[in-house]
Chain A
Amino acid sequence: MKNSKYLLSLLLFAAGIAKTTAQTENQIFPIVTVPIPKEIALEVGGMTVLPNDELAVATRRGEVWIITNPYMKDGQQPKYRLFAHGMHEILGLNYIKGDVYLTQRAELTRIRDLDGDGEADEYKTMYSWPLSGNYHEYAYGPMLDKEGNMVVTLNLGWIGFGESMSKWHGWMLKFSPDFTMKPFATGFRSPAAFALNGSGDIFYAENQGDWVGSGSITHVEEGDFVGNPAGLIWADQPGSPVKLRKKDIPDTGEPKYDVAKRVSGLKTPSVWIPHSIMGNSTSGILDYSDSGNMGPFKGQLFVGDQAQSKISRVFLEKVKGVYQGAVFPFREGFSSGVLRMNWGSDGSMFVGMTSRGWSSTGKEEYGLQRLTWSGIMPFEIQTIKAQPDGFELEFTMPVDEKTARNAGSYKLSTFTYKYHHIYGSPVINQSSRNIKAIEISPDHKRVRLVLDSLKEGYIHEIRTEGIRSESGNTPLLHNYAYYTLNQIPNGEKIVATAENKPLGAMQADNTKQGMDHHHMGNMTTVTGKVTGNTAAEKHITKQPASWKNGPDKTILLGTKPGLKFDITNLTLKAGAKVKLTFANTDDMLHNFVLTMPGSGNIVGEMVMKMGLDGEKYDFVPNSAKVLVHTVLLQPGKSDTVYFTVPKTPGIYPFICSYPGHYTVMKGQIKVLK
């Protein structure tokens, strides 16, 4: 009964969409590609706009390019000029007090053109830190804080787990104007980006990994420990403001928020960015200041994602002195892995990209694009503010009262992640929330949802598929958001009355079957809900008793850096008995999924639709197109499966179905008669 009702409401929504014109990201926020000359590998690591309106771009190959007219004004092509080169993987570039500063792996550097010939000739080391030589010891920055110090972060190395192999890796460092270094905070794993919000507070972006259940942005203050214990090895060094030590950090898999309640000094994210749904690898952060012109979201933060080639939008508020807020989808479809964002002088957003070594949804190895606003008002949830008894949603345009008052327009649930040394986390403690009352403001731009309960410390998924605009009956450009509720505000609660009683019933509770989420953008080939695989016969880990003579063939499959299987072509005989061991020697999560002929990409796309449940099902969708799979493997782990090669000859693709990996991490089995 429940299911048929759900289907019916889906059909109704589909009919509603057909009648009106849905907004698209393309129409409202057009992307302009800045052409890059063929001979330049513009693997963007850092960007800054110079006072004369040129754009300076630093690359992972250690170059700094200066681009004149990146806006292509008057139909003219941009001009590229090499300003500096021969540096070591620059991942941050900034123009500060009249000088160009950048971070290389080993140092904070100032570059100057002393003789005025347009090329840097002084490379001054302002501060140098040790390295072990591990490839994962990235360095980012500098950024100027509100007191005038430069801020730099140092990545952990990777040796099968994150490790601080040399001093100050896993730390945020501050440099006074005379370049005296002060260690500021630790617990960082892969702090690829940080920025100030409008109040001058520092927010940094973290990537899923060990001790990090999902990507997030976190408010960083002096002495904070933000989660990965590796950097604590230096916490007893002179100048360290961090009181915690490695032994103080429990490894219990409890939610981080719960651990932080008893471990003073452990900081939890301001806003979680749910993994695989909102992104895989949180990257650049850009404050929507007066320099930008990107629609009605001033004061919010834009947060990039390298793997999913997209940008999310974050609304922050302070409740009881603690930052929290909501992350919304904003714009997808960039050409490569989004790493850096900067405002151009015309209010457009430069988006600098690189995907080398990691895959991204945008297939280019690198790229430079400019995001613009057409001036068309997007119909979006502008803000979500926590209330003592629920949330207040503010919309960019008045909402249709009938849909806004209907409980069936919404779906709410709460969940969180495990805090432990293991890489990533499944979604845990998931449950749905019910709406008790709905109040709509007189101007129809604000909707207050009163819930049965709020869960402090949890991520609140807020889905608003049914909402329509008052004029035009338009659906939302994006109809879901994730609010991280660190604190429940005090204040008056709304009493449920006949007036504010919701119309209709909430959408069926299908949270246990996985979440559907519709992409309103430009990449939908698989639609609707995808659930996880529960067919045990696709994952047989003991040799079948009927295999009297053992397997006909034993295969050892491994990984190579840069999202690759070490074997990509296998030839097997139809009906052969195979024992396959997949060993994940990489630094990310991977699995092995054998698919029906021609179905590698289809299965990969299905996984993107598994929503919050993906990891619980090892990112293996419930589909006849999946033949065999391993579990999702932690770095350094392996899984052995037994299967019989299909009887029909053909080319059977295999992929890693971890979200986004399938496009590059793939191979095929040729089945012969």
Chain B
Amino acid sequence: MFEGKKRTHVISVGTPEKVNYSYDLKQGALLQLWRGQFLDVTEMWKDRGEPQLAKPLGAVLPLTAAPAIAALADKQTAWPDSIAFDDLQNKGYVLDKNKMLTFSYSSNGADVNDKIVVQSDGAAINRTISVSNSKGPLYCRIAVGTSIEALKNNAYSIGNKVYTVKLAAETKAFIRKTKNGEELLAPLATGADSLTYSLIW
């Protein structure tokens, strides 16, 4: 469940650092983060597994159910809430030596890799989004909140200090207003491009 809706193509990942996250494979969306115990899967594994829900065992930091990548007609175009089932081809994931996952999918005519690494001290996660074969400019929405404040060193405070994102020095992000608050976007160049940020909470 996320924002009151049962999500059917979600994977949750737990780590020895007790930093856990959920990822919507059909949106390319990092849904939520939490620290502590992993999941209560009683409602998937007891009896017939009704109603098919896995519940985080910790205080959840909700992020977004919207896709991370979108093609926008112009800088005023609103960020899409979702991408249609057939418009994103999820291709699975690969584990690295430290068992950190890189998700792959294609959407908006581009191939996307989305690597999520839990920092060894558990203080943050690092997310690297790479696109290749894109036919036109794309945007990545890094964060969304009621308000976003630019800090120094290419860092931003999201939602009145709920969490912080720190971008690589070369990433040029911008804040824009939404109906309900603000969001932090960064452009991705046609062809191949990538960006990395840390999410600290």
Q: Which of the residues A121, A128, A133, A561 comes within 8 Å of B94, measured between beta carbons?
A: A121
Pairwise interchain contact B8-A357, C-beta atoms closer than 8 A: no
Contacts of A182 in B (CB 8 A): none
Pairwise interchain contact A123-B92, C-beta atoms closer than 8 A: yes
Q: Which of the residues B47, B92, B97 comes within 8 Å of A357, measured between beta carbons?
A: B47
Bound together, the chains give a CA A123 to CA B103 distance in angstroms of 10
Pairwise interchain contact A561-B47, C-beta atoms closer than 8 A: yes
B91-148 with Cβ < 8 A to chain A? 91-97
Residue of A nearest to B43 (CB): A135
Pairwise interchain contact A130-B50, C-beta atoms closer than 8 A: no
Contacts of B9 in A (CB 8 A): 106, 128, 131
B48 at the interface (CB under 8 A from A): yes
Q: Which of the residues A109, A121, A132, A357 comes within 8 Å of B48, measured between beta carbons?
A: A357
Pairwise interchain contact B11-A86, C-beta atoms closer than 8 A: yes
Pairwise interchain contact B95-A135, C-beta atoms closer than 8 A: no
Pairwise interchain contact B94-A122, C-beta atoms closer than 8 A: yes
Least distance between B94 CB and chain A CB atoms (Å): 5
Pairwise interchain contact B47-A133, C-beta atoms closer than 8 A: no
Proximity string of chain A (183-223) to chain B, C-beta cutoff 8 Å, 1 when within and 0 when not: 00000000000000000000000000000000000000000
Contacts of B49 in A (CB 8 A): 60, 89, 135, 357
Bound together, the chains give a CA A114 to CA B94 distance in angstroms of 9
B side interface size, CB within 8 A: 26
A112-147 with Cβ < 8 A to chain B? 114-115, 121-125, 128, 130-136
Q: Which of the residues B46, B47, B50, B95 comes within 8 Å of A121, measured between beta carbons?
A: B95
Pairwise interchain contact A128-B51, C-beta atoms closer than 8 A: no
B45 at the interface (CB under 8 A from A): yes
Q: A122-B94, A133-B51, A561-B48 are contacts. A128–B11 as well, Cβ < 8 Å?
A: no
Contacts of B46 in A (CB 8 A): 562
Contacts of A61 in B (CB 8 A): 45
Contacts of B48 in A (CB 8 A): 135-136, 356-358, 561-562
Bound together, the chains give a CA A122 to CA B50 distance in angstroms of 29
- Please, could you name 15 A-B residue pairs with CB atoms under 8 Å apart, sorted by A? A105-B8, A106-B9, A109-B92, A122-B94, A122-B95, A123-B93, A125-B25, A125-B90, A125-B92, A132-B8, A133-B8, A135-B50, A136-B48, A356-B48, A560-B47
B157 at the interface (CB under 8 A from A): no
Pairwise interchain contact B50-A125, C-beta atoms closer than 8 A: no
Pairwise interchain contact A131-B91, C-beta atoms closer than 8 A: no
Tell me the interface secondary structure of chain A in the complex: loop
Pairwise interchain contact A130-B8, C-beta atoms closer than 8 A: yes
Pairwise interchain contact A128-B47, C-beta atoms closer than 8 A: no
Bound together, the chains give a CA A123 to CA B25 distance in angstroms of 13
B67-104 with Cβ < 8 A to chain A? 85, 89-97
Bound together, the chains give a CA A106 to CA B90 distance in angstroms of 11
Bound together, the chains give a CA A133 to CA B45 distance in angstroms of 14
Pairwise interchain contact A124-B91, C-beta atoms closer than 8 A: yes
Contacts of A133 in B (CB 8 A): 6, 8, 51-52
Least distance between B29 CB and chain A CB atoms (Å): 15
Pairwise interchain contact B52-A128, C-beta atoms closer than 8 A: no
Pairwise interchain contact A135-B26, C-beta atoms closer than 8 A: no
List of 8 A-B pairs having minimum Cβ-Cβ separation, nearest first = A562-B47, A357-B48, A131-B8, A125-B92, A121-B95, A124-B92, A133-B6, A135-B50
Pairwise interchain contact B47-A356, C-beta atoms closer than 8 A: yes
Bound together, the chains give a CA A125 to CA B26 distance in angstroms of 11
Proximity string of chain A (435-446) to chain B, C-beta cutoff 8 Å, 1 when within and 0 when not: 000000000000
Residue of B nearest to A132 (CB): B8
Bound together, the chains give a CA A646 to CA B58 distance in angstroms of 52
Residue of A nearest to B97 (CB): A115
Contacts of B96 in A (CB 8 A): 121
Bound together, the chains give a CA A105 to CA B25 distance in angstroms of 14
Least distance between B112 CB and chain A CB atoms (Å): 13
Contacts of B95 in A (CB 8 A): 121-122
Beyond known contacts A114-B94, A124-B91, A130-B8: 14 more, CB 8 A cutoff: A86-B11, A86-B13, A105-B8, A121-B94, A121-B95, A128-B25, A128-B26, A130-B85, A132-B8, A133-B52, A135-B48, A135-B50, A357-B48, A561-B50
Taking each of B46, B48, B50, B96, which has the highest tally of chain A beta carbons within 10 Å of its own beta carbon? B48
Residue of B nearest to A562 (CB): B47
Least distance between A248 CB and chain B CB atoms (Å): 28
Bound together, the chains give a CA A135 to CA B50 distance in angstroms of 6
Least distance between B40 CB and chain A CB atoms (Å): 14
Least distance between A293 CB and chain B CB atoms (Å): 36
Contacts of B52 in A (CB 8 A): 133-135
Bound together, the chains give a CA A134 to CA B91 distance in angstroms of 23
Bound together, the chains give a CA A134 to CA B43 distance in angstroms of 12
Contacts of A106 in B (CB 8 A): 8-9
Least distance between B113 CB and chain A CB atoms (Å): 13
Pairwise interchain contact B85-A122, C-beta atoms closer than 8 A: no
B148-198 with Cβ < 8 A to chain A? none
Bound together, the chains give a CA A107 to CA B13 distance in angstroms of 18
Pairwise interchain contact A122-B8, C-beta atoms closer than 8 A: no
Residue of A nearest to B14 (CB): A86
Taking each of A86, A107, A128, A134, which has the highest tally of chain B beta carbons within 10 Å of its own beta carbon? A128
Contacts of B92 in A (CB 8 A): 109, 122-125
Contacts of B94 in A (CB 8 A): 114, 121-123
Contacts of A89 in B (CB 8 A): 44, 49
Contacts of B93 in A (CB 8 A): 122-123
Least distance between B125 CB and chain A CB atoms (Å): 18
A140-177 with Cβ < 8 A to chain B? none
Contacts of B45 in A (CB 8 A): 60-61
A293-332 with Cβ < 8 A to chain B? none
Residue of A nearest to B6 (CB): A133
Contacts of B8 in A (CB 8 A): 105-106, 130-133
Bound together, the chains give a CA A383 to CA B147 distance in angstroms of 77
Contacts of B11 in A (CB 8 A): 86
Contacts of B97 in A (CB 8 A): 115
Least distance between B182 CB and chain A CB atoms (Å): 32
Proximity string of chain A (521-562) to chain B, C-beta cutoff 8 Å, 1 when within and 0 when not: 000000000000000000000000000000000000000111
Contacts of B13 in A (CB 8 A): 86
Residue of B nearest to A128 (CB): B90
Bound together, the chains give a CA A547 to CA B130 distance in angstroms of 78
Bound together, the chains give a CA A611 to CA B90 distance in angstroms of 50
Contacts of A115 in B (CB 8 A): 97
Residue of A nearest to B99 (CB): A121
Contacts of A60 in B (CB 8 A): 45, 49
Residue of A nearest to B45 (CB): A61
Bound together, the chains give a CA A183 to CA B97 distance in angstroms of 39
Residue of B nearest to A122 (CB): B94
Bound together, the chains give a CA A105 to CA B52 distance in angstroms of 11
